[in-house]
Amino acid sequence: MAQLRQFKLPDVGEGLTEGEILSWLVAVGDTVTVNQPLCRVETAKAAVELPSPFAGTVTELLFDAGTTVDVGAPIITIDVGGPADAAPAADEPAAAGTGTGLIGETNANGRTAVLVGYGPRSTEAKRRPRRGQPVEAAAARATAPQVLPEADYGSGGDRPPLLATAPDATVKPVRHGGLEAARAAEAAAARRPAEPATRTPSATAGRGALRPLAKPPVRKYAKDLGIDLTTVTGTGEGGVITRADVDAALAAPAAPEAAPTAAGDTRIPIKGVRKHTAAAMVASAFTAPHVTEFLTVDVTRTMKLRERLAARPELAGVKVSPLLFVAKALLLAAKRHPMVNSSWDEAAQEIVVHGAVNLGIAAATPRGLIVPNVKDAGRLSLAELAGALTELTETARAGRTPPADMTGGTITITNVGVFGVDTGTPILNPGESAILAFGAVRAMPWVHKGKVVPRQVTTLALSFDHRIVDGELGSRFLADVGALLHDPGTALTF
């Protein structure tokens, strides 16, 4: 007998509520193994592959590619039972007094073989039909494939936020084809007061969506009138949609239509990374009081040092970019001014000074702006930091950033100079107290040793949370970063 398991969309980040299925990596009928990738999902922070928690055969893909699904909603059904030809042939007699021991078979003693831990039963359990329900319908339900509990990772408060790679051991199988669970659910439903049926757009979209509760005559009545039952709130017992509900929906004023799109205009859905970025930037801009300071620096000595270091064997194979020296300067300055590497805890009314600097690097990707971070970057040597930055940006642009790299950042650098921009007023990453914008390095006239000569010059912009970082601290921190970039030898005094 088929044993169907449904895999729910897990929370692959910190408190994410939805994700878009970018593509399916399996099809109906495919045989999958545990941890085999099933699909690619774009969350609010990155695109990730979801591994299968079950081994078996794919029976149904509950949503099409391109559908946005709520966390906790089943997305795929897998048959984890044995093949249909595993049953013994009818002409193979069982040994006297014993059965073949196959699951579901009744032996000579009247006992049915069941899975270990499911408990024996002496007779075949049969479910009585509901009142008013044809016996044939009840018999069809009794022979339907058994649906076991879904895999649910990270959707509860006591579950880890990241992906699990095996089925949840706390979920116990249902006995006797779900009979006891069904009766318990019916009893619980009978004890609860009737509630109106409520549906969200995500619950009614895509394959596998919930079907509105209504009797066949009401469905035909609504169809004849052109009423979509998914938009109707049922007032009958248990949220059932009645004929009066359809009449009320017909009499209700039509919702105003969206303004027509002008010729040549394009509407782009706000979702995924862009939706998360928009919400985060609005929350940051209207929560943390921003202050931005600017500093123009002669970085000629740093650029010459870059050329010398790039030729050293210990830095072979890594990218020695100007961003590397800005990152190293920031890490050294943060060590001198640890309050810059802090966050504001509104609930506890405390300032959290972080011991490790998790350095975020803003990266532009085809799906939008993301900010992965290098964990405890202050402990890395220059060569290790160069490798970490290269790997971070390449992984981000390829869309393979793991969720762990998207969380826990404490301070950020945004390199606007790669676009030829001199500077800007960056907005803080939520939960951080400072962000440094690094502008383009240009040859500009500069007074050097009393003469106006061309020098390599850049502009730095530091935005900080004025609740944590006051003007003096922000100015000293920015001045230290500038001093290190102007004369890298200053690092010996830090």
Strand intervals (E) in 64-165: 68-70, 74-79, 146-147
**Cα 23-27-33 angle, rounded to 5 deg:** 100
Residue with tokens 């990596």: 25
Catalytic annotation, pick one of 176, 290, 337, 466? 466
Distance separating alpha carbons of residues 392 and 420, to the nearest angstrom = 22
Closest CA to 81 of 54, 106, 47: 54
Q: Describe the crossing of helices 322-336 and 300-310 by its angle, rounded to 10 degrees.
A: 110
Distance separating alpha carbons of residues 293 and 460, to the nearest angstrom = 8
Q: Calculate the dihedral angle through the C-alpha atoms of 228, 234, 236, 237, rounding to the nearest 10 degrees.
A: 120
Distance separating alpha carbons of residues 284 and 279, to the nearest angstrom = 9
- 25, 51 contact by CB (below 8 A): no
- 125, 132 contact by CB (below 8 A): no
- 417, 439 contact by CB (below 8 A): yes
Distance separating alpha carbons of residues 210 and 202, to the nearest angstrom = 10
Closest CA to 330 of 265, 378, 297: 378
User: What 3-state DSSP class applies to 464?
Assistant: strand
Q: Which long-range contacts (CB under 8 A, 24 or more apart) does 84-89 make?
A: none
Q: Calculate the dihedral angle through the C-alpha atoms of 127, 128, 130, 132, rounding to the nearest 10 degrees.
A: 140
The verdict on whether 466 is a catalytic residue reads: yes
List active site positions: 466
